[in-house]
Structure 1
């Protein structure tokens, strides 16, 4: 580990030079982008080569080619510069109309399909310089209690590697800022004209061929646990890794799937699907927007928290899906 005296030798500006040259693959173009002279960029690269003990770039007939070490450093340096940008942005006042900044938002893909369109529409209108980095979140079951499956995500919020998360989660400790967005339950989705669209009973449900969304191909999900509690089981004929693929497969087969209601309502018309109520009792999950209380001191994160709350409030979700409910 470097001591403070050694760290003083590391100029963040050198990392910006490195990142720009890597992006442009050309010293002169990088210099123009940075508003520097080519000699200043070359001098910066020379300093960085000495610090990192690697040539970093080789000259070619068309520009420069990165070394293997430079390629390996690209991700960590980009991440570091992003964090520096976030720190500097948080230090001053935040004006959404003029701000140029990116935020990392985590959500399961079924939840992201509900909020992404209204969020992007709002940003395009009110904050054109804001970029969103969306990360797909997966619950970490592995024998954990239901209340513990999102602990890894909460740790990401605590460490500020994630700015905001949208999660189906219950009550949280006071160190988190959270707000209820909507209640999510499930419906049984299938193509229009499916034989079960006319009448769906528990008996016909368990006899049908099911599609299950599973990132790892596991044919057992929470529905199977609930069915087993009642002495039933079903056949999962197909697993797919994401919900949008699931909707496409339902449209072209006789498979049925138990999916989040808001996801189906938003995309039913596009995929020519219908939905029917669950044939057994199901308790709705609370979907919340979550961040750390410490992160709320950042005016930009606090602003985005409010924007997303307004975009995905129960009233806005109702408005978003009301037009589609006639097909359900």
Structure 2
């Protein structure tokens, strides 16, 4: 493709910066503050860009401003272009783990924190003695806004939402299994549906208080379980199973790590709950940052034993055998 230099000269880089800020903030005042110019200057830049692209780009709404379809189409291209300029021309940062002091903030659910952090700290302790970590608790769903605002560097969890500004790498497919006292499962090693429905359960709920997946699937068949205790704290579940003679559906990777600690058995779930992906996610602006690249590799290394054990156990029955 031949570059039309004369035409490109019309596109002041500041116009693209203004566009990206407006896409992120959806508010003229906040966008102007974000890039350090006056609101009138931002409005002027937007007017120029509208003329150049022959599109309104943003229209007013009750919530502020909303991008037009043309603006949404351009968003990823503009963001990637600015990220490239920043990482390749303005901030060619070099990260030396042996000497650099840096704090990384990780967005994790509690059980993924328990699986990752001991191994991650063991992996980096000698090679990066001045690197520190802050763990930010997140819900099971993907916290895209925390990546957008820079409040977290990395998110690990059920990444199903987000936008074109985010990168994602699948780690493993997670399944639900059932934690129970060994005598509750019996010699068969499997809890049947009748036992599952009639036994009091400790149930993990999301921050909005909903019990998803299992209850939704049961409801499709007109069934309902005994959700005797609901809690947003996953680590409460094995304690309730052990001390209150309950059962609890939990993620398989959590069960495999913690069932032996609490003296519990693992049963395949009698309800066919589709697996979901556990993924590593980050903002595209950090994609080529050397510190972030290093961090992502350390996380992959630290979680490899977990990933390998889940991949090796093709079914929940395999998890049961491996845990015995």
Task: Confirm or deny a common fold (TM above 0.5).
Answer: yes
Return 5+ residue gaps in structure 2 as ranges.
1-28, 37-90, 314-318
Matched, 1:220 2:211: yes
SS in structure 1 opposite 2:126? helix
Deviation for aligned residue 1:174: 3.8
CA-to-partner distance for each residue in 1:244-268, whole Å, 9 max, x for gaps? Answer: 2222222222100000000010111
What SS does the corresponding residue of 2:95 show, helix, strand or coil? coil
- Contact 1:207-1:234 at 8 Å conserved across structures: yes
Which of 310, 320, 327 is equivalent to 2:323? 327
Distance 1:265 1:304 in 2: 26
The equivalent residue for 1:102 is 103
**Equivalent position of 1:205 in the other structure:** 196
Structure 1 runs not aligned, ≥5 long? 8-89, 140-148
Match in the other structure for 1:283: 274
Other-structure match for 2:130: 129
Cα 1:309–1:261 change in 2 (3 A) is same
* 1:164 shift after superposition: 0.4
Partner of residue 178, structure 2: 188
Residues 273-307 of structure 1 show CA distances to partners (whole Å, capped at 9, x for unaligned) of 11100112121111110001102232211210121
**TM-score, scaled relative to structure 2:** 0.63
Q: Deviations over 1:147-173 (max 9, x none)?
A: xx53xx112112211100002124764
**CA distance change for structure 1 residues 326 and 318 in 2, over 3 Å: closer, same or farther?**
closer
1:212–1:219 Cα contact (<8 Å) kept = no
**How many matched pairs?**
232
Distance between the aligned counterparts of 1:232 and 1:250, measured in 2?
22
Could you say which residue in structure 1 is the equivalent of 2:94? 93
What is residue 166 of structure 2 aligned with on the other side?
A: 176
What pairs up with 1:258-297 in 2 under 5 angstroms?
258-297=249-288
The residue number in structure 2 matching 1:142 is none
- Alpha-carbon separation, structure 1, partners of 2:207 and 2:161: 28
* 315 and 268 in structure 1: CA distance in 2 versus 1, 3 angstrom threshold: closer
| Aligned mate of 1:161, from 151, 168, 179 | 151
Root mean square deviation, CA, Å: 3.1
> C-alpha displacement at 1:197, in angstroms?
6.8
Query: Hey, which bits of structure 1, 4+ residues long, moved more than 6 A?
Result: 319-324
Asked whether the equivalents of residues 253 and 310 of structure 2 are also in contact (C-alpha less than 8 Å), the reply is no
Aligned to 2:85: none
Q: Which shifted more, 118-127 or 157-166?
A: 118-127
In 1, Cα distance between equivalents of 2:322 and 2:131:
35
In the alignment, the residues of structure 2 paired with residue 313 and residue 171 of structure 1 have an alpha-carbon distance, to the nearest angstrom, of 24
Q: Give the SS at the match of 2:298.
A: helix
Contact map agreement 2:266 2:320 (CA 8 A) in 1 = no
Say if 1:156 and 1:137 are closer, same or farther in 2 by CA, change over 3 A.
same
For residues 216 and 320 of structure 1, the distance between their equivalents in structure 2, rounded to whole angstroms, comes to 29
